[in-house]
Amino acid sequence: MSYVRDVGALARKDLLLELRARDTLPAMLLFVVATFVVFHFALPASASDLAASGLLWVAIVFTALLGLGRAFVPEREQRMLDGLVLAPCDRSAIWLGKGIATLAFLGAAEVVALPVFALFFHGLSAATIAAVVLADLGICAVGTFLGAMAVATRARDLLLPLLFLPLAIPIVIGGVGASVVDAPGRYLGFLALYDALFVLVCWATFEYVVTE
């Protein structure tokens, strides 16, 4: 059970850092609302509600990218990652702790963003909300993992979107499908499958990202 404790400690560290700095979450909130406004002007007058639903998922993915880009910055700036790796915990705990913290930020941003979306465009179905929850799990699992790699490269901020977007395409498909279709069960099931597969792969291989 010390694994669970390690994960909790790591997640709490990131949440506390954000609570004190208060920079990532406000930025994500402003970004997502600004994006909605841009969408309103980007959609032609005859665009259907369905188009707006699709754009919701674009907004979620790019807002998540914004938060993910910042996720490992403290570790890089203060070289904390070496210290974390030396700590006597299973390395995958680093990924899980960071992922949970990022999930909290993304969730917090969506708690505001989703009602705003419903206000600007049209209402949100329960299926959409369920899809957002499932998608967030996949986004944070994969995004945190890739963020850890990207931060160790020369290209850093440039690289994370390139790595993340191809892997986000199935999430967007699942999310849009669930939002748009009458029988969303298949799409929600697909999102759950995506989450299960990629959480497993991330958890199993994160050790190799931080060690040699």
Partner 1 sequence: MSRERAEFADVGRTHRIPLSTLAAASAVLVTLALVLVFFVAPNDADQGFSQRIFYFHVSIAITAYACFGLGAWKALMHLWKRDPRADLESYVAIHQGVIFGILVLVTGSIWAKISWGHWWLWSEDQLVLFLVLFLFYAAYFMLRFSVDPGPQRENFSAVYALFGVVLIPVSFMAIRLAKQAIHPVVFTRHGPNFGGWILVAYVVSQIAVLVLAYTLYRVELAGKLVDVRLRRLREATA
- Contacts with partner 1 by CB under 8 A lie at 54, 149-150, 152-155, 159, 162-163, 165-167, 169-170, 173-174, 176-177, 180-181, 186-187, 190, 193-194, 197-198, 201, 205, 208-209, 211-212
Q: Considering the complex, state which of residue 31 and residue 145 has its C-beta at the smaller distance from partner 1.
A: 145
| Non-local CB neighbours of 181 within 8 Å, separated by 6+ positions | 187
Q: Considering the complex, state which of residue 116 and residue 172 has its C-beta at the smaller distance from partner 1.
A: 172
Q: Report in angstroms how near the CB of residue 50 gets to partner 1 at its nearest.
A: 9
Q: Considering the complex, state which of residue 31 and residue 54 has its C-beta at the smaller distance from partner 1.
A: 54
Q: Considering the complex, state which of residue 23 and residue 49 has its C-beta at the smaller distance from partner 1.
A: 49
* Alpha carbon distance 112, 138 (integer Å): 20
* Alpha carbon distance 184, 32 (integer Å): 25
Tokens of 165: 């977007």
- Angle ∠(22,25,31) on CA atoms, nearest 5: 130
Q: Report in angstroms how near the CB of residue 162 gets to partner 1 at its nearest.
A: 4
Radius of gyration of the CA atoms of the chain, in A: 17
Which residue's entry shows tokens 């850890």? 148
Our CA dihedral for 49, 30, 64, 42, rounded to 10 degrees, sits at 40
Q: Report in angstroms how near the CB of residue 1 gets to partner 1 at its nearest.
A: 28
Q: Report in angstroms how near the CB of residue 186 gets to partner 1 at its nearest.
A: 6
Q: Report in angstroms how near the CB of residue 150 gets to partner 1 at its nearest.
A: 8
* Alpha carbon distance 194, 119 (integer Å): 30
* Alpha carbon distance 147, 130 (integer Å): 25
Q: Considering the complex, state which of residue 124 and residue 209 has its C-beta at the smaller distance from partner 1.
A: 209
